[in-house]
């Protein structure tokens, strides 16, 4: 199994989308890229910890490779906006990729170049090695599947998921 940590807005959105991807074996919502240890959701939402909402994906490379994981990532969020995705605004919603394996940086760079060809604005996705990953609170895990009728899920996640599945 291989892992990658991705942030592209609210972690609930990425979780819901990657749950539908064959070869993704585990998804954990969490926080990364900040300057405090063991942040809470409330602290991250204030935008003062520097953490992004992220998902840590584990995937089976015999079924899906990192290149395709990243192709999906660049299709399901806007990597050209700084610290925002739609109405979600703040550093915690930034576009970011954290890798653990230095060889992945080459795949990430080529994926950004490929995605840029289809975008008018410049990709601003941050890329760096993973400093630390902090698991989000239990109620954030598999949030969309547990709360499909919650207003945010209906208004934001469901349309993204429907678009992705088409």
Q: What's the pLDDT tens digit per position in 89-104?
A: 999 999 999 999 999 9
> Which pair of tokens denotes residue 44?
């991250």
pLDDT score at 21: 98
Q: What mean pLDDT is predicted for residues 72-99?
A: 96
The domain spanning residue 12 has which CATH number?
3.30.1060.10
Q: Which domain holds residue 159?
A: 2-165
Segment 27-56 mean pLDDT: 96
- Tokens for 9, please give them: 């807005």
Annotated catalytic residue: which of 10, 13, 45, 153? 10
Q: How many domains in the chain?
A: 1
pLDDT mean across residues, the chain: 97
For range 76-95, the mean pLDDT: 95
45 is catalytic: no
User: What six digits make up the tokens of 5?
Assistant: 């940590």
CB atoms within 10 A of CB 118: 8
Provide, rounded to the nearest whole percent, the portion of the chain with pLDDT above 90. Answer: 97
Please say whether the beta carbons of 13 and 76 come within 8 A.
yes
What's the CA dihedral at 98, 110, 22, 17 to 10 degrees?
A: 60
Q: What is the pLDDT of residue 32?
A: 98
pLDDT average, residue stretch 120-126: 98
Contacts of 59 (CB under 8 A, 6+ apart): 1, 2, 3, 4, 21, 23, 24, 25, 66, 69
Q: Tell me the mean pLDDT in the region 61-86.
A: 97
**What length does the chain have?**
166
How far is Cα 62 from Cα 50, in angstroms, rounded to an integer? 35
Q: What is the mean pLDDT of residues 44-73?
A: 97
pLDDT at 48 over 90: no
Average pLDDT of the segment spanning 133-162: 97
The mean pLDDT of 25-54, rounded to a whole number, is 96
Q: pLDDT per residue over 8-33, tens digit each?
A: 999 999 999 999 999 999 999 999 99
């Amino acid at each position: 199994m291989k892992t990658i940590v991705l942030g592209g807005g609210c972690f609930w959105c990425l979780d819901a989308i990657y749950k539908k991807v064959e070869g993704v074996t585990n998804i954990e919502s969490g926080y990364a890229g900040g300057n405090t240890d063991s942040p809470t959701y409330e602290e991250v939402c204030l935008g003062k910890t520097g953490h992004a909402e992220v998902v840590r994906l584990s995937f089976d490379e015999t079924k899906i490779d990192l290149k395709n994981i990243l192709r999906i990532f660049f299709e399901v969020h806007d990597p050209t906006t700084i610290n925002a995705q739609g109405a979600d605004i703040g550093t915690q919603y930034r576009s970011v990729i954290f890798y653990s394996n230095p060889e992945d940086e080459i795949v990430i760079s080529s994926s950004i170049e490929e995605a840029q060809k289809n975008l008018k604005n410049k990709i601003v996705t941050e890329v760096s090695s993973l400093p630390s990953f902090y698991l989000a609170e239990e109620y954030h895990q598999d949030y969309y599947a547990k709360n499909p009728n919650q207003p945010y899920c209906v208004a934001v996640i469901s349309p993204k998921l429907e678009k992705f599945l088409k």
